[in-house]
Amino acid sequence: MIKFLKRFYLGFVLLFLYAPILVMILFSFNKGDTRANFTGLSFQWYTKMFENSTLMEALINTLVVALCASVISTILGTYIAFVISKMSPANKSVSMKLLNIPMLNAEIVTGVSLMFFFVFISVSLGFTTLLIAHIIFDVPYVVLSVLPRIRQSNKSIYEAALDLGATPAMAFRKIILPEIMPGIFSGALLAFTMSFDDFIISYYTSGPGFVTLSVYINTMTKRAIPLTINALSTFIFVIVFVLLLITNLKGKKSTEK
C-alpha cells in the first residue's frame, strides 16, 4: 500500500512536470497554426523549422555560447577550485562567498549589473559580453562540483608518484585528474545546461547581431509564438531523451552481465 502511494506520488509529480511538455509536443504536430485547437496531424512545423534561417541561427548561437562558456568555465573553474583548496581557511571563506554571489544573487540583478558594467566600460553588447556573462555564472557551478572531489582525492598517492620520479605535471595528469574527472564532467554539464536554458542574464547582456534562442523566443511572445518553436523544442528534447534511454538500457545490460 505504502509502496503504491509512493509510486503514485512520484508519478503525480512527474506528470505535473511533464504534462506541459507533452502538450507542447502534441501541438508541434498541429496542422493548424494555433495553440488553441488541434486540427490534425502534420509535420509542416518541422520542415518550416529547418527552413527558418533566423531560428536556426539562434539555435546555433545558443549552442555555441553554451559550449564555449562551459568549456572555458570548466577550465577556469577547475583552476579556481585547485587554488581555493590550497588557500588558508580565512581566504577560502572569503573567496567562496564571492564566488557564490553570481549563483545565489537574483538573476535579474546579475544581468542588470553586468549590463551596467559593460555599458560603463563602453563595450557594446554582443557575443563577447554574452559569453563573459555566461562564464561568470557558470564558474561557481564548476567549482562547487570539482572542489569536493579535490578534497576527497588521495594526496599520498600523488606524493608517492612524485617520490617514484614522476614530474608534478605527469603526476597531476595520471593521478589527480582521473580522480577529479567525474566532478569536472558534472560541472561542465551543469554549466552547459545552465547556459543553454538561461534567459534573464542573456536577455540583458546579449546585443543585436547575436541572439540566443530564449531571447529570440521572447521577441515573439509579443506576437504569437509560431509552432516552429514547439517543433524545435520537441526536436531537442527527443534527442536528449533518446540518448538518455539508450545509455540507461546499455547500463542495464552491463550490470546484468
Q: Does residue 49 contact residue 55 with C-beta atoms inside 8 Å?
A: yes
CB of 231 to another protein, least distance (A): 11
Q: What are the CA-CA distances from residue 148 to residues 29, 77, 104, 127, 181 (Å)?
A: 45, 13, 19, 33, 12
Q: Does residue 206 contact residue 130 with C-beta atoms inside 8 Å?
A: yes
CB of 223 to another protein, least distance (A): 5
DSSP state of 173: I
Q: Does residue 142 contact residue 190 with C-beta atoms inside 8 Å?
A: yes
CB of 98 to another protein, least distance (A): 4
In this complex, which beta carbon is closest to another protein, that of residue 163 or of residue 197?
197
In this complex, which beta carbon is closest to another protein, that of residue 103 or of residue 166?
103
The answer for residues whose C-beta is within 8 angstroms of residue 127's C-beta and 6 or more apart is: 61, 65, 209, 210
In this complex, which beta carbon is closest to another protein, that of residue 172 or of residue 199?
199
196 C-beta neighbours (distance < 10 Å), count:
19
CB of 153 to another protein, least distance (A): 15
In this complex, which beta carbon is closest to another protein, that of residue 83 or of residue 170?
83
CB of 97 to another protein, least distance (A): 9
In this complex, which beta carbon is closest to another protein, that of residue 80 or of residue 161?
80
Torsion sign over Cα 68, 134, 191, 146:
positive
